[in-house]
Amino acid sequence: MSQKLAQVKKPILKAVDFFCCSGGVTNGFKKAGIKVLGGIDVEGAYKETYEKNNKGSKFLEADIAKLQPKDLISAFGISRNMDDLVFVGCSPCQYYTNLKTDKTKSSESRLLLEDFQRFVAYFNPGFIFVENVPGLETKEESPLSYFKQFLKSKNYTLDESIVNAADYNVPQSRRRYVLIASRVTNKLKIPKPTNKTKNTVRSTIGHLPQIKAGHKDGKELMHWTAGLAPINLKRIQNTSHDGGNRLEWKDDKELQLKCYEGRDSIFSDVYGRIYWDYPAPTITTKFNSFTNGRFGHPEQDRALSLREGALLQSFPSDYKFYSDNMGIVARMIGNAVPPKLAMVIGSELVKRNRELTLL
């Protein structure tokens, strides 16, 4: 490579993070060297957390279904056909999850990918990143197949896969559908797993101080836990440390839940403790509740704290969440794309963008 060519620098990638939530993608992309212009989300409660943790990135509170291209031009200073622009479309879409949950509340969000496509069509960015629940690519009513057909019609090449965040240094088993696409390079590939030894719960949260259910400390650490009803405190006290579950007290008439009588084979993770020496289970928006999954602390008689959930999502230890409402903070954490997973994807985009300098 000549000295003159070596001095040529490809413009730094710029990104707009649709459905930015508390900034998981933004944080990871910034660490990968991408300039995130800002994020969009309908939840105004996320604004302070997003902007204070991601200096220089603007939060736009808006319903994407009602936004127009001119709004993004005004807010982020972008224009059409920018080769160095990344659009991120990681919408919360529990509607397509494979988990057997009530889809009523999430049904309104099932077409967010179509709204995202509208902006891709107008701006024609150089790169695209989409992350969602695995069910998105299999459900017949999913808009994903139409979105992929649209990308191909616009001369985008794409790569897609089901990945587990635990394979990318995230201390959590979190299977997700990932799609990356580009119209400026055909070399874009979802990175292979980056770690052979998976990060564990113990190595991630084992250093935090012991606390009791209902504990609430200062806002800096936010090692906050939900309280437990007396019956649930008794249940967790009767659940073995390091991976125990509700089957241990299924024959106890006082502790057994009527809804599970005779149904021992289903939902055994509910009211369970997580394991110390494995990645955590998927951190959902209800991870701070002992009754909503395997979210009991490995040995303390309580559910995971907000800070523990954030660390298991791979947020930096100094990432602060600005709300006094535990439910809102849990939603900020559970709905986020793990920053370390986003960093790996962002690094691939940066790598391919730099290669274009040599063309």
Choice among 20, 21, 90, 93 that is catalytic: 93
Q: How far apart are CA 188 and CA 183, in angstroms?
A: 10
Radius of gyration of the chain (CA): 21
Which among 172, 290, 289, 306 has a CA at the least distance from the CA of 239? 290
Q: Which residues of 54-153 form beta strands (DSSP E)?
A: 58-61, 85-89, 127-132
Phi, psi of 160 (to 5 degrees): -145, 155
Active site annotation includes 259 = no
Whole-angstrom distance, CA of residue 128 vs CA of residue 63: 20
Is 126 in contact with 153 (CB distance < 8 Å)? no
CA distances from 347 to 19, 184, 350, 354 (A): 21, 16, 5, 11
Sheet with 85-89, edge to edge strand ranges? 58-61, 35-41, 14-18, 85-89, 127-132, 175-182, 157-164
Which residues, in sequence order, are bridge partners of residue 15? 36, 86
CA distance 33 to 36: 9
Catalytic residues: 93
